[in-house]
Amino acid sequence: MTAAIALRGVSKFYGKQRGVVDLDLEIVTGDVFGYLGPNGAGKTTTIRLLLDLIRPSGGAVEVLGGHPSDPAIRRRIGYLPGDFGLYENLSTAELVEYFGGLRGLDSFDYAWQLAERLELDTARPMKDLSKGNRQKVGALQALMHQPDLLVLDEPTSALDPLVQQTFYELLAEAHDQGATIFFSSHVLSEVERVADRVGIIREGVLAEVETLEALRSRAVRRYEVTFAGPVPAGLGSTPGVRDLEVDGNVATCGIVGPLGPFLSALATFEAVDLYGHGVDLEELFLSFYQGDAS
């Protein structure tokens, strides 16, 4: 498949301070890509490079088969920053018409449908809107022209949970229609909900690019086991078992890798109950943030 986004050896320096360093990243058309990292890691710098809001110090940026400075390319992109604010005296309706004109829209029907689903009062000026309602307007303007590429920078930070649910539904619909989605966040659960693949950036360096499924296979799975008698001394030395904690005849531990050795051990040790807490991806992601992904 063709690449919707291609970064080839891209670096950006602000004087002696680095923003991103030697980014090599390709996102295929139709992908939903989560871009994870703590605040200050380089997520917003990457997005600004994709949108040609800043230029790289080195390397090449390609978006939708061309350069992001091309007006024809820019019309095919929908962008939502983390804190949307624009033209304080214009109402939502006036902003819709303004952006529609820039993008050459013939119809505003879909925009008004979005406004209704997001429960927006389109008559109120931006200066009178709460931060959450401003973000709704941002979501509307990013989606209204049904772009080929959505670039979202911490998009739900100001939205309440019910509106977040609506926003996720709108993203799913855009993806079903063929849109590529680049979704930046520092919240793992948010990225897990929408992304197929993730990139993890730390201090301007891309630490990992992987599918969520592959990352889950490397993550710690938590289990609580109840035994008929005391917890067997040999459980802690079973392959894959880590962080064993014992409370009476109940053991809590993490499992990394195949479950077979652990399950075989439980059968040998007369386990009577087993409860799984699921995959702890948070721990794996924190290891990347801290620079220890071994």
pTM of the model: 0.80
The whole-angstrom separation of Cα 168 and Cα 77 is 18
What is the distance between the alpha carbons of residues 50 and 68, in angstroms, rounded to a whole number?
Answer: 7
Q: Alpha helix (H) ranges present in the chain?
A: 43-50, 71-74, 92-102, 109-117, 131-143, 161-176, 188-194, 212-218, 260-268, 281-289
Q: Which CATH architecture has domain 3-213?
A: 3-Layer(aba) Sandwich (3.40)
Task: In whole angstroms, give the CA distance from residue 244 to residue 108.
Answer: 59
pLDDT in tens, the chain (294 residues): 689 999 999 999 988 788 999 999 999 999 999 998 888 889 999 999 999 999 999 999 999 999 999 999 999 999 998 777 778 899 989 999 998 988 888 899 999 999 999 999 999 998 998 989 999 999 999 999 999 999 999 888 788 888 999 999 999 999 999 999 999 987 777 888 889 899 989 889 998 898 888 877 777 788 999 999 999 988 999 998 988 999 999 999 988 878 889 999 898 888 899 998 766 666 666 666 665 444
Residues 6+ apart with CB under 8 A from 291: 202, 207
270: left (phi over 0), alpha (psi -120 to 50) or beta: left
pLDDT of residue 294: 42
In the chain, where the domains are located:
3-213, 219-289
Pairwise CA distance, residues 160 & 153, whole Å: 17
3 state DSSP class of 178: coil
> 243: part of which helix (H) or strand (E)?
strand 241-247
What CATH homologous superfamily does 219-289 map to? Alpha-L RNA-binding motif (3.30.70.1560)
| Contact partners, residue 217, CB within 8 Å, separation at least 6 | none
